[in-house]
Structure 1
Amino acid sequence: MPFVQSLKVKLLISFVAVVVPLVLFMLVNNLYAKQVVREKVSETYRNTLDMFVRQTDNNLHETSEYLMKMAVLDSEVGLLSSYPYGTDNYVLTKVNIYNKLMRDVGFYDLLDTIFLYTDNDVIIGTRSNDYEMMKQLLRDHVPDMIENDLNNPTADYWQLASDVRIPGRSMMIKIVHVTDSLYVGAIIRVQDIAQNLGMQWSEGDIADSGLYLRRGNEIVRPLIGGEGPIQLDGTEMNGSLSYITQRGERNNDNYLVMYKGSQTADMAYAIMLPEQSMLQNLPFFQMAVYFLPIGIAILLLLYLIFVQRIMFKPLGELILGMKKISLGMLDVRLKSDKTVEFVFLANTFNTMAEQIKSLKIGMYEEQLRVKHGELKQLQAQINPHFYMNTLNIIYNFAALKDHESVKKMSLHLADYFRFIMRANRDTITLDEELRHIDNYITIQEMRFPNKLIITYDIPEPLKSFPIPALTVQPFVENAIIHGFKNRKQLFVIHIAVEQKTSFDGGFYLTIRDNGIGFPPDVLNRLNEKQPLLEGESSRLGIVNVTHRLSLHYGEGASIYYANDEDGGAAVTIMFPAMTDTAGAVG
């Protein structure tokens, strides 16, 4: 029956019978198992993270209490401000305080430095080997910290700061006011907290971790860590969620992300656990993941053998016939198959082959005529933008009775338009294009005396290279229109040609100027070959050049736009070797 012979019915029945049950089983099994694992694992890891953050906050609180007691109860700290700076009593008290700070800094695991700060002196007890560096670091940061601390009088509040002299760059600073000019404080390196956090997860073997700067409930940026596959910048922290799921940026693995904000600083702790790690403790699920693909592969192999007989074989014959048609073998014909769809395809293919054979030459010639006409139309669109300005200058010279300038301007303008009228040729030599540019520059020099100059660096043999007409001049014109803004400075345009060193020949032609360069948005649009905005219609000439080069050389030519480091625009045109233009339009 025709209905039974239908390829659509055969594929539908076989697909439903073989694949759908397996797919449903895997989907249900995977979704259920993943959800259970996520809930259980996230609960365990979240509890560990909460305990770590709570313990760290407790340590910071104890340190704050220690600083507060030192500021209020330590008699030597109180006496220090009463002695004149540099006196024997001051020095003796300073030594006693220094010894006490060096002793106390070892009692607190997180502490890196304990200090007393005055306008005249800094006394520190530190784990760092560079004592003077730490003193200078405190001089650089403590004044700002004191001012910020006045705006945040919370007793347990620790401020965050960044400095390249601190390992890991980030640090936490706590400052307690003693007298008008005396402060006690402590520094904790964020890197030390991050290392303790990483040890909870076998230092990254189980999960990635990081410490982040937060603003309210928003994670702003990493303080240390956070180089893993998940970037949390801009994440809103929702305290009601035990975890969030994100996909890795460098891979397609899913990650469970758990975060916790500190109660003592504008800091958030985060861990990122790959779902793949969660499966390591699920033997049954792992076995299913390993063996199900093998079973599916066997079933699909049997299915493909069946599909091969009813679909792939006739499809292969159809594809082979199409390849032969594409190679110009228009006499190929397909045999009919028993399947209804392939009978129709074979008959349609044979009919189309007959039509292609009769229409191929006519369509090819028509396509060449269309491309040739499009190239001529683009050439015709390139008109001199300065036409009206030039006529106004000639009028002004005539009004001033400067007949020599009128004759010179008229002569160069005539040569300019004589070239434009001859530009309907397919190609001209590079030397002809440069002479046309000289005419254009001469007219512009009469508009801007002693303000404009053009230089060349072109090997003599390459001047005879054939190029499409009006390929270089629009870029020179664009440089003057858009780059020549500072009329007090000499505007220099330099055209250079460099022979390719690769085996394919060709050369690079670069037009540079010392103007203001391309605006960033225009530069991006030009290099990405995007249409320019309505306000950039004055750059129509260079857009047409791009299109004409594509029509003439195909993929053999390209244009790259850039801004030089010292200012100015640079346009580089890559021309292919002469033999590459054999297939070009015209």
Structure 2
Amino acid sequence: MPNLIPRGWLELNIIPKRQWRLTIFPKLIIAFLLVVAPIYGIGLGMNQLGENSVREELSKSLKSRVDFYLNSLEVENELMRSLLQQYAIDKDIQHAAFISNTMTIGVWTETVQRIQEKLQLIKNSSLYIKNVSAHILTLKRTISSDETISDTINPDYEAVANVSKLRGVGNYFWEDRLFMAIAYPGSDLPKMKETFALSIEINQEMLKQSLRNFSDYKNAGAMLINPENGWILDNQTDEGLTKELSDYLKKTHEDSVDEGYKQISAGNNSYFVAYKRSTTFGYYLIAYVPSSEMLGPIDKYRMLLWLLSFVSLVFIVAYSYWLYQLIRKPLHRMITGFRKVEAGMMEPMPLPKTHDEFRYLFQRFNMMTDNLKVLIHEVYEQKLRAQTSELKQLQSQINPHFLYNTYFILYRLAKMNDNDSVIQFSQHLGEYFQYITRNGSDDVPLDAEIKHSRTYVEIQNIRFAKSRITVEFGELPPGCGDMRVPRLILQPFIENAYQYGLETKRKDGRIVVSMIEQDSKLLMSVEDNGEKLTNADLQTIEANLVNQGADIEYTGMLNVHRRLKIRFGAEYGVTVTRGEMGGMKVTLMLPMPLSLGRAEGPPESNDARGE
């Protein structure tokens, strides 16, 4: 029969499924994204550049504070060192050490007072000095800025006892206290016995107070750490942070890194850290600021950026929906109309409310369907009715065959409260009946037919345990998936295998579905290992297929056999044999797509094939 509808119109049927990416709607969306994405990318890049710039400026500021504070401490330390070196050769202290036994009581008293006044001057020269002591070893006495001369050497001398081995001023950490000291004569005159030592105890509370004022940020602070002797001076109580910073500086010291800037994590918090080592005294000054405090404004801008992103996304979705309503939806309605025309339903489409190009297209489409209806009615309607009537009659014999048992299975599953199986069974059942009852073309892709058969098997798997009956599907030869075949040609034979071959089999039931190419034909076979098939039954079935006898128990098989002959020709159809597993083997012979020559066109008339 000649094709009444242009080939280009028929091809619209596959656009929504296989060529969706080539349609107008996704192209418009992609074009819109190509416009929006660079703008958004530039905004994101500008925000990132701004964030990096702020980070860099904040890091420079933190480093500058560390440099300034460390320089201040070094100035104070240099002052203390110079005072110790200056008073190490003070005449009063030397007289007290060398000639005190020749002094009168009055002279001795005045000498001690002058020494104490000088020690007090040293103490008052810096806020970071807690106490200044002169340990006179020749007298075994100590004169300090806070106390008069003692009868014995002050126990604090133990902290600086090793200073005599040094040349100049030494730093000592003893019992959580920090000292600076110088000995006379020290190592400058190794053969001369040590006579006295001057020591300064650093006021760590004042250092802590100074560290508290280091930064204006909340929860920020600074620390002084000497990785060599473990001395740590901190103004906060977070032991985890102190340990993290201490361990980090130990590693830094081992790597001989004197200064730097880094972001570290301590507990659940993140900190920006700047540090620098005093080359004169060996300790590190490290300042830390919580990332949330330093980058608080940046985080706000980041939140605004995310808000902008969300608004942009909403705008894009709204724009896409608007395009969908404006273009995609009318196109989809028009394609649906073409599908209906292809299926033989010449129904006019309602005109859209908008007065645009689509309204004009819908009007012309309705005019086209009216003309086609007239043409079909006048020339081909009777012949189409005759062929369609026969095919529908044959198909209708199969459709209700599976209906009787399914609802009893569903009833049984629901009564057992097996909700999961009810859901799965209902889904497969819906797909099954949707396939066999849908109003569309009688021809379907072979892939769809095989998928329907698999759905049927899933339904039966719920009815029969998989250990009782197993079904194996072979691979379809390449290029056969899109082949158009009559609907419901494979599933009826699987149903027959269940119903007549394996239904009474309690275990080890097996069905094998194979698909092979042979002599330019596609052979699809369904074989079971049932034990009920007798030779007499097999001969009866073969005779009915040859003679196409009247209605018998195997009506479904004759149905498929008849429809394949109508669709493809007399050389194709159904054959039955006894399979290698002992049961029935049904083979469907179909033409390979390349040998069809009309796979994409409508079926030929019976006259063209000599039917």
User: Same fold judged by TM-score > 0.5?
Assistant: no
Q: TM-score range by the shorter chain?
A: 0.3 to 0.5
Under a length normalisation based on structure 1, what TM-score does the superposition of the two structures give? Answer: 0.43
